[in-house]
Structure 1
């Protein structure tokens, strides 16, 4: 069992830290650009985690949400990476696809699936869920592809969400 976990969870190295920083910045830029584009075609829904509860202090609410996000986002990484790995294996073993083709198709499909899993969060807005969330997921999964380490994709995801959810608190 321990050996199986080390296939997903590895030590983080200095080069991983630079990748985490770079991908967090790129992901924020890309997702915001996609949100601006999507907003031209549809009304975007806010994530309920970002909408402050008027009875709570905004900073306290942010940190409360962050404390639950630590666990939730690890679960989201499993919901994204496990289907990717299953699709990859299915395409290579069942269909005999090349590894490169299987990676590309599994990467795209698992990212769209991840976006679709957010439909209820964003009021069933298909464009927002698939284009903004799904395409953003491509960058998070890239972190895993580059390192074969779920910790790296998880940290990028955690930083990404934490920064975006902090922006309203900062008045941005």
Structure 2
């Protein structure tokens, strides 16, 4: 990690044809790869009940869209990831903490109006041994990278479309892309939460908007992924360590 502050931030890639132009057809390839990756994450083979099967699912989820981008150009991949500076790590921590606070507040308010479904992973890991939990926490890293790609790639595609096709001002385009790109992430959690659309849109959608701020501010996918990992590790770790786990079941 670079200890310099990294005050100069790169611009969002692709919308202004930098560092490379990406055509509409190429975006279709990338977004199709995202759909395939999500389908592979949900596939019954190899069985996700095994450690190896779970790792295969998680790795394919992030590698398939990255491979599609690499087919276009290696620079398309490197445009997403930048060297980490000290300030980037601080952003990771700050966004993770902010997301925990906001999501818990929203979830508590929501639970008073609507019955929230539980994330089955809490129950699966609640009775697991330490080694299984450690393995699960490690597996979260590639899976959460895949979830970041599921959000940030549509954000960048929307940003390009809104600025070039719709002639929208960059600031408005960023705002619209930030809001709309939370939808794929929220809807992808429908199977996890017993197809509760309201819960996914309100709780998961809110969490996604906060996590996306890490990328909007830094334009570095390592930062948003790091914030997401810290957020989920904190939620699951806290739930396993204290008898308030039932309160947290609908938060991640």
Q: Would you say same fold, with TM above 0.5?
A: yes
| Native 8 Å contact 1:143 1:152 kept in 2 | yes
Q: Distance in 2 between matches of 1:27 and 1:71?
A: 20
Instruction: Provide structure 2 residue ranges, at least 5 long, that are not aligned to the other structure.
Output: 1-72, 245-252
1:1-172 map, 5 Å: 1-52=73-124, 56-57=128-129, 59-171=130-242, 172=244
Change in Cα spacing, 1:53 to 1:5, as seen in structure 2 (3 Å) is closer
Deviations 1:34-53 (A, max 9, x none): 11111112111121222135
Q: Secondary structure at the match of 1:44?
A: coil
Alpha-carbon distance in 2 for matches of 1:112, 1:75: 15
Higher alpha-carbon Rg: 2
Q: Distance in 2 between matches of 1:131 and 1:139?
A: 12
Decide whether aligned partners of structure 1 residues 98 and 61 sit closer, same or farther in structure 2, where only a CA change above 3 A counts.
same
Aligned counterparts of 2:77 and 2:194: Cα–Cα separation in 1 = 35
> What is the aligned residue count?
171
1:97–1:144 Cα change, 3 Å: same
Matched residue SS, 2:118: coil
Structure 2 Cα separation of the partners of residues 52 and 111 of structure 1: 27
Rate the CA distance shift 1:51–1:23 in 2: closer, same or farther, 3 A.
Answer: same
Structure 2 CA distance for aligned equivalents of residues 47 and 85 of structure 1: 29
User: Structure 1 CA distance, aligned partners of 2:119 and 2:195?
Assistant: 12
Deviation at 1:55, TM superposition (A): 5.9
SS of the equivalent of 2:181 reads helix
| Structure 2 CA distance for partners of 1:143 and 1:53, relative to 1, 3 Å | closer
Structure 1 gap ranges (5+)? none
Q: Aligned-residue CA RMSD in angstroms? A: 1.5
Q: Secondary structure at the match of 2:236?
A: helix
Distance (Å, rounded) in 1 between the aligned partners of 2:125 and 2:96: 27
- Per-residue deviation, 1:167: 1.8
Q: TM-score, structure 2 length as denominator?
A: 0.65
In structure 2, do the counterparts of structure 1 residues 4 and 44 end up closer, same or farther at CA, with 3 Å as the change threshold? Answer: same
